[in-house]
Amino acid sequence: MDLLVVDVAHGHAEAVLRAVRTLRRRFPSVPIVAGNVATAEGTLDLIEAGADAVKVGVGPGSTCTTRVVTGAGVPQLSAILECARAARERGVPIIADGGIRSSGDITKALAAGASAVMLGNLLAGTEESPGATLIRNGRQYKTYRGMASVWATARRRSLDSPVEEEEIGQIVAEGVEALVPYRGKVADVLRQLVGGLRSGMSYCGARTIPELWEKARFVRITPAGLRESLPHDVELL
């Protein structure tokens, strides 16, 4: 066994901590990744329970509605900064899970203290992803379902027992089902993402992720600065 992952939307819960402790006792030599959390306290409690790495992110995903439905969550960059600061004191890495929309977001997540990132939306449109392929208005798309969407929740529940139609109507979803543009082969997408990350690290003078932690500097950006960061004053081809 290479790795065990305890993956729960609210990772700072007693049931999750008990599960991590139990797994640590039963598999003392197997690395355990646990989450998701968005606070220093949640990070430290998972580490204390036995997690070797912590997943950070409550509500940042493109198909996630947790923050709207429940009112709970932390903006992802703020969560990464806080959780990474706490985890680094214990020598434990964090994984930024959710909210990655571009290679630049990967650079920023790592610069904020993450050791790795998880991708959903950016890979959901690839040929290898499990979503169904369909054509709409002459364009090719793939289906993408949030893990807390009605369909995904009903599917998980059906693993234990059949789910009746009226039960489906009672599910309080924290995610949506959507379409994402078809993006081709995953290798081609990853090539672009890695290229952007390498370039971003070079702008900071960093050859490694730990160097990026030390050398990166964040600045506050205004709406005008954001508009300036995107193509402007041109007609795109």
Q: Are residues 167 and 64 in the same domain?
A: no
Q: How many other CB atoms are found less than 10 A from the CB of residue 204? A: 16
| pLDDT for position 80 | 99
Q: Are residues 177 and 190 in the same domain?
A: no
Q: What confidence tens digit (pLDDT) does each residue in 81-120 have?
A: 999 999 999 999 999 999 999 999 999 999 999 999 999 9
Residue 124, pLDDT > 70, answer yes
Residue 163, pLDDT > 90, answer no
Q: Is 83 a catalytic residue?
A: no
Residue 166, pLDDT > 70, answer no
Q: Are residues 90 and 162 in the same domain?
A: no
Asked if residues 98 and 118 have their Cβ atoms less than 8 Å apart, the reply is yes
Q: Are residues 176 and 83 in the same domain?
A: no
Q: Is 47 inside a domain boundary?
A: yes
- Compute the distance between CA of residue 145 and CA of residue 120 in angstroms, rounded to an integer: 10
Q: Are residues 177 and 115 in the same domain?
A: no
Q: Is 237 inside a domain boundary?
A: no
What total number of domains does the chain contain?
A: 2
Residue of 51, 53, 64, 123 with catalytic role: 64
Residue ranges making up the domain that contains 8: 4-123+185-229
- Compute the distance between CA of residue 44 and CA of residue 92 in angstroms, rounded to an integer: 10
Q: Is 220 inside a domain boundary?
A: yes
pTM higher than 0.75 for the full model? yes
Q: Are residues 44 and 118 in the same domain?
A: yes
- Compute the distance between CA of residue 9 and CA of residue 153 in angstroms, rounded to an integer: 12
Q: Is 234 inside a domain boundary?
A: no
Q: Are residues 48 and 160 in the same domain?
A: no
